[in-house]
Structure 1
Amino acid sequence: MTTLTDRYLAATLRSVPVARREEIATELRASIDDMVEGRTDGGQDATAAEREVLTELGDPDLLAARYADRRLQLIGPTYYLAWARLMKLLLSFIPVGVGVLLGLLEAADGGTVGQAIGAGIAGSIQVAVQIAFWVTAVFAVLERTKTPLHLPAWSVDQLPETPLHRQITVADTAASIGFLTLVIAYLPMQHFRSFVPGRDGGDVPVLDPALWSFWLPFLMAVLVATIGLEIAKYRAGRWTWPLVAVNAVLNLAFAVPVVWLMSTDRLLSPELLARFDWLQQGDNLNMLATAVIVGTVLVTLWDIVDSAIKAYRNRR
């Protein structure tokens, strides 16, 4: 089990140069131990002494800036950390969400894949620039006018738990978000460019266009929410039980409609079924439906069970 000192050191060292981390860790831990020992020698409880010492040292980001000789003065030192934390939060999900939405709208309006991707990237960049400008401008005004934010004082209770290892890596998150984005983009695009050639030229849609009345927008919304889950997983660094619960709900919200629509012959478009003669022969269509249903169920169960196992291991 990690102590408050371990957590404080981890929170401080993440913002200092890698080459100096070992040196700073040794120096800082020795200083904390000496300060705690000085208080316990006077009869103070060790746990209370540790909390007092860390509270006196203050916000680990401020301490890290002093160790790294880094000035926190883009807009002024008073509100710099509040500005930086808000910027990281807003830029972590808003530009991506807007970019996906703009790409989908471009594809639904008849745009090509390249146009949809271009619209999404351009929209993400524009939103990121607007967020950076306006948040910075607001904090600059607050700094100059000395407007109090009444932010709660830093305390040791805000220290993050020190993970033994990071389960969720940047590469895993990027790959998952990239795949989900492609699936979201393909759902409207497949009505215009499905890569399944028709008999008379052009492409035939894979999914029944009638699903646009409700089910396809619903499935796209579930996928967008799943992107949010991927971001939350990365920020947490590991699976937790609340994340497992959200993952299970999103998996079921996607899988149940797919299974039901496939079992009632409402998922695939009539044009696709008419395009392939073998689907009309014998029980081939039923075999395809069974394969899709079984595959969907297995993948869903595997993902839910896998996330639960990882969360369980984290508690041990």
Structure 2
Amino acid sequence: MTSLTDRYVAATLRAVPAPRRAEIATELRASIEDMIDGRTGAGQDAAAAEREVLTELGHPERLAAGYADRRLQLIGPTYYLVWQRLLRRLLAIVPGTVGVAVGVLKATVGDDPGAAIGAGITSAFQTAVQIAFWVTLSFAVLERTDTSLKLPEWNVDQLPEGPVERDVRMIDTCASVAMLLLALAFLPWQHVQSWVSGTDGGRIPLLDPALWRSWLPFLAAVLVAGLLLEIAKYRARRWTWPLVAVNAALDLAIAVPVAGLLLTDRLLNPDLVARFEWLGAGGHLDTVAGVAVVVIAAITLGDVADSVVKARRRDA
């Protein structure tokens, strides 16, 4: 664990321009050291002096704003940091969740996947605008009416443990989110826009339509949970053991039902199997199911092992 001063300086530097960080770090450390020396010279305990000095300096983001000559004020300065933190958290989770839910629902009840994607994007954007407007308006009213939220004062115990290097990159998160969204879109798409046509010209769903009454909604819910996991992982910047556990649970929640449905011949639409005679002849379907289960098991174990290795590496 780093000292309180190291944590305070790291928290301050996150909010200042990169070109000035070295200069500000030197200046800030020197100021803190001088203030601590002044107190310890008067007989005060060093640890207590350090806490008092950092508390006196105040919230690191406010101090950083002073160094950067940046006003922490939109409507007013009192609740600016609270407004900023709340707005970031809401915008990071709510619009994306609403967009995915609307898109999946639209794709399920409609027959136009393109329109479903557009509806999801539009809903996410509208939700983000509504959140930004109402949260900002609420804090503007609080500022103007001088209403006290009775929030606890900032103290050094709220400092992060120290600078955490990002192991989870934006490009990896975007790729994972894109794959999950494609998997979510595939579930309704294969039902209404399958590329397989029957002898009557109608489209044949790839998966057994009866699964919409049981496993397919469950799998869709697991994929949505996977999206939330990707957001949480990116915000955490690295793999943590709770995230590893959730990731393993979600992997198994997909792999076990799909493998079971494959081995019991309940995943593929019977009409699809009948459409391709070779698939149902000579045990070919069992062979395809067996190979698919092995691939699913390998991917699942590989993903879980990868997350465990990354979490252990961070703890090493």
For the aligned pair, the TM-score class normalised by the smaller chain equals: over 0.9
Q: Aligned residue for 1:308?
A: 308
Partner of 1:299: 299
Cα offset, 1:2, TM superposition = 2.7
Q: Aligned residue for 2:169?
A: 169
| Partner of residue 284, structure 1 | 284
In the alignment, the residues of structure 1 paired with residue 4 and residue 18 of structure 2 have an alpha-carbon distance, to the nearest angstrom, of: 22
d(CA) in 1 for partners of 2:147, 2:295: 58
Distance 1:164 1:95 in 2: 27
Query: What residue identity is the alignment partner of 2:222?
Result: V
Summarize the Cα distance change of 1:27–1:111 in structure 2 as closer, same or farther, 3 Å threshold.
Answer: farther
Q: CA deviation at 1:33?
A: 2.3
Deviation per CA, 1:113-139, whole angstroms, max 9, x where unpaired? 221111011000100011011111111
Counterpart contact for 2:95–2:125, Cα < 8 Å: yes
2: CA distance, partners of 1:99 / 1:217: 17
TM-score by length of 1: 0.95
Tell me the secondary structure at the aligned position of residue 206 of structure 1: coil
Alpha-carbon distance in structure 2 between the residues aligned to 1:194 and 1:34 = 72
**What does the per-residue CA deviation read over 1:46-76, in whole Å, with 9 as the maximum and x for residues that have no partner?**
3333222221111111111111111122120
Q: Say if 1:178 and 1:23 are closer, same or farther in 2 by CA, change over 3 A.
A: same
Partner of 1:72: 72
How far 1:161 sits from its partner (Å)?
2.7
**Cα 1:264/1:156, change in 2 over 3 Å:** same
For residues 221-256 of structure 1, the C-alpha deviation after alignment (integer angstroms, 9 at most, x for no partner) is 111111111111111101111111111111111211
Q: How many residues align?
A: 316
Which residue identity lines up with residue 119 of structure 1 in the other structure?
Answer: A
Match status 1:132 vs 2:160: no
Equivalence for 2:150 = 150
Provide the rounded CA distance (Å) in 1 between the counterparts of 2:246 and 2:201.
43
Q: Distance in 1 between matches of 2:209 and 2:71?
A: 57
Deviates more, 1:10-19 or 1:224-233: 10-19
1:203 Cα deviation after fit: 3.4
**Which amino acid in the other structure matches residue 235 of structure 2?**
R
Query: Quick one: distance in 2 between partners of 1:194 and 1:160?
Result: 50
1:251 corresponds to which residue? 251
Deviations 1:248-290 (A, max 9, x none): 1111112111111111111111122122222122121111111
Other-structure match for 2:239: 239
Question: Structure 1 residues 200 and 47, CA, compared in 2 at 3 Å: closer, same or farther?
Answer: farther
Structure 1 residues 199 and 167: CA distance shift in structure 2, 3 A: farther
Tell me, which stretches of 5 or more residues in structure 1 are unaligned? none
Structure 2 unaligned regions, length at least 5: none
Q: Which moved more, 1:143-152 or 1:85-94?
A: 143-152
Corresponding residue of 1:55: 55
Structure 2 contact 207–268 (Cα < 8 Å) conserved? yes
TM-score under structure 2 normalisation?
0.95
Would the alpha carbon gap of residues 88 and 164 (structure 1) be closer, same or farther in structure 2, given more than 3 Å must change?
closer
1:202 CA drift (Å): 4.8
- Residue 105 of structure 1: aligned partner: 105
> What is the 5 A alignment of 1:140-219?
140-219=140-219
Task: Give 2:69's aligned amino acid.
Answer: D
Q: Aligned AA for 1:261? A: L
Aligned partner letter, 2:2? T
Which SS does the other structure have where 2:205 is aligned? coil
Compute the displacement of 1:31 (Å).
Answer: 1.6
Moved more, 196-205 or 92-101: 196-205
Partner of 1:274: 274
RMSD over aligned Cα, in angstroms? 1.6
Matches of 1:151 and 1:196 in 2, distance apart?
60
Aligned counterparts of 1:314 and 1:22: Cα–Cα separation in 2:
26
> One-letter code of the match for 1:91?
L
Decide whether the 8 Å contact of 2:10 with 2:163 is kept in 1. Answer: no
CA distance in 1, matches of 2:185, 2:246: 23
